[in-house]
Amino acid sequence: MKKGNSAPFFMLITTLGHLLGYRSMKRMNTIEAKPGQARILYSLRAAGQLSQAELAKRSCITAPSMTVALKKLEHMGLVEKTLDSEDKRIVRISITEKGLAQVQKIEDAIQGMDQLICENMTAEEKIIFRRLLLQVISNLEDNEEKDVYEVMREVHLDMHEHKSPHRKRGKQVDE
């Protein structure tokens, strides 16, 4: 691909997406986590116990994929299932201590990716970059798909609002 100022934005963003996907998968593989599993664990940490349907909606994962993912996560000891105390037909899923430890590893990998992405940027450039990325996301949203994006935003906000006592973060630039 052409480098420099003449490449179309679409090509730059497509290349960025591929590079981010490749680099993040390499990091996630070292901690044996997949992006869908990370979303599930983040959702559970933020919300506590959820039904499988609630968890699927919050994590933007289809019901069949959620069933498969939960089996794997349960086998790994990262989540546990319990029957709802009021309605025994409903199974509640919650994150285990081991799952919380896995979330910390995922956060460390994400923080490493953020550092890599923003390497050689000043604090001001990071603020501008964040604003521009949010603008691009807003431009690409369309009304038919907004419900999916809103759910993704809620999960993302939950991820950053949760304060873990075990979490140690470096300096971050807020909007």
Q: What is the 3-state secondary structure (H, E, C) of the chain?
A: CCCCCCCCHHHHHHHHHHHHHHHHHHHHHHCCCCHHHHHHHHHHHHHCCEEHHHHHHHHCCCHHHHHHHHHHHHHCCCEEEEECCCCCCCEEEEECHHHHHHHHHHHHHHHHHHHHHCCCCCHHHHHHHHHHHHHHHHHHCCHHHHHHHHHHHHHHHHHHHCCCCCCCCCCCCCC
Does residue 170 carry a pLDDT above 50? Answer: no
Residue 1 lies in a domain: no
Residue 4 lies in a domain: no
Does residue 35 carry a pLDDT above 90? Answer: no
| pTM for the full predicted model | 0.65
Residue 147 lies in a domain: yes
Give me the CATH number covering residue 42: 1.10.10.10
Does residue 85 carry a pLDDT above 90? Answer: no
Q: Which domain holds residue 139?
A: 19-161
Residue 12 lies in a domain: no
Residue 11 lies in a domain: no
Per-residue model confidence as pLDDT tens digits over 92-124: 999 999 999 999 998 898 899 999 999 999 999
Does residue 168 carry a pLDDT above 70? Answer: no
| Number of domains composing the chain | 1
